[in-house]
Amino acid sequence: MFTKSTAFYDAIYSFKNYEKETQRLVELIRERKRAPGVQLLDVACGTGSHAGFLRQHYEVQGLDLDQNMLEIARARFPEIRFHHGNMLDFDLGRTFDVVACLFSSIGYLKSSTELERTIENFARHLSPGGVVIVEPWLRRENFREGVISGLFVDRPDLKIARMARGWLEGDVSRFIFHYMVGTADGIDYFTETHDLTMFSREQYLAAFEMAGLSTSWDEPGLMGRGLVIGTKPR
């Protein structure tokens, strides 16, 4: 996944409006949450950009598999507790009123079995009346094979060009990202390969329902990819 690009992650994704996305999340949570508490777990939290805004409304903790991402998150938000763990099988020994997994991180799971295990784990960490919110990766009907994407960062002290072409391998969308990064230390070139599984809407809904969650689908979502929302019975 992210290797050498971790140090530039926030610059690369600076186009995202995390504050606006958080406002939308808060609205959805208010509509569906029946648990009285305000404990929120941000799974696959990355460098903590959502967590930084979510802490204005909830008592937030974060979890991620990437230690380098966690180092950045902890430096940015020392008041937030960040855990190292895999969404498949982490065990924090407690429950939360909200469990969120955003920006399509769920797509890095490799099979429907892993998806079911992960949602079951989210539900296990959820208080009665609590809410699970997952932002899916693209679905097959939304994927355009062979399209070349380009993303550029132009700052006085940092220049980045990232290009990629995606293609299908079964249910997996594969991207090889090509980076050219310019800093005061020089210009560097490297690549990263990202494989994301394109689960169907039906697979997401089935995984939530198997975990005992009352489930709905919000089609607009945060950035056009939808949201799967499940509430745990009280």
What is the total count of domains within the chain?
2
Question: Do residues 219 and 158 make contact, with C-beta atoms less than 8 angstroms apart?
Answer: no
Question: Do residues 8 and 46 make contact, with C-beta atoms less than 8 angstroms apart?
Answer: no
**110 has a pLDDT exceeding 90:** yes
Report the C-alpha gap between 62 and 53 in whole angstroms: 12
47, 121: one domain: yes
**6 has a pLDDT exceeding 80:** yes
The whole-model pTM stands at: 0.96
Q: What is the pLDDT of residue 134?
A: 98
* Residue 118 phi, psi dihedral angles, 5° rounding: -70, -45
91, 206: one domain: yes
**SS3 label, residue 12:** helix
Report the C-alpha gap between 25 and 54 in whole angstroms: 9
Range with lowest mean pLDDT among 53-57, 139-143, 200-204, 213-217: 139-143
Q: What is the pLDDT of residue 97?
A: 98
Residue 234 burial (CB count, 10 A): 9
Q: What is the pLDDT of residue 165?
A: 93
**2 has a pLDDT exceeding 90:** no
Q: What is the pLDDT of residue 88?
A: 98
Domain harbouring 171, CATH code = 2.20.130.10
Q: What is the pLDDT of residue 34?
A: 97
Q: What are 216's two structure tokens?
A: 């709905």
Cα separation values, 38 from 34, 35, 59, 97, 164, Å: 11, 8, 6, 6, 40
Per the prediction, the chain carries an average pLDDT of: 97
Q: What is the pLDDT of residue 232?
A: 98
Where does the pLDDT of residue 3 fall: very low under 50, low under 70, confident under 90, or very high at 90 and above?
confident
Each residue's pLDDT tens digit, 16-56: 999 999 999 999 999 999 999 999 999 999 999 999 999 99
Where does the pLDDT of residue 122 fall: very low under 50, low under 70, confident under 90, or very high at 90 and above?
very high
123, 172: one domain: no
For CA atoms 57, 61, 67, 70, the dihedral sign is: positive
Cα separation values, 208 from 14, 85, 99, 138, 229, Å: 31, 21, 13, 18, 8
What's the farthest any 2 CA atoms get from each other in the chain?
A: 57
145, 44: one domain: no
50, 92: one domain: yes
107, 188: one domain: no
Provide CB contacts within 8 A for 226, sequence distance 6+.
Answer: 135, 136, 201, 217, 218, 219, 220
**1 has a pLDDT exceeding 90:** no
**138 has a pLDDT exceeding 80:** yes
Each residue's pLDDT tens digit, 73-99: 999 999 999 999 999 999 999 999 999
Determine the structural domain holding residue 193 and report its residue range: 140-197
* Residue 204 phi, psi dihedral angles, 5° rounding: -60, -50
Domain harbouring 205, CATH code = 3.40.50.150
74, 181: one domain: no
124, 53: one domain: yes
Where does the pLDDT of residue 4 fall: very low under 50, low under 70, confident under 90, or very high at 90 and above?
confident
* Residue 94 phi, psi dihedral angles, 5° rounding: -160, 175
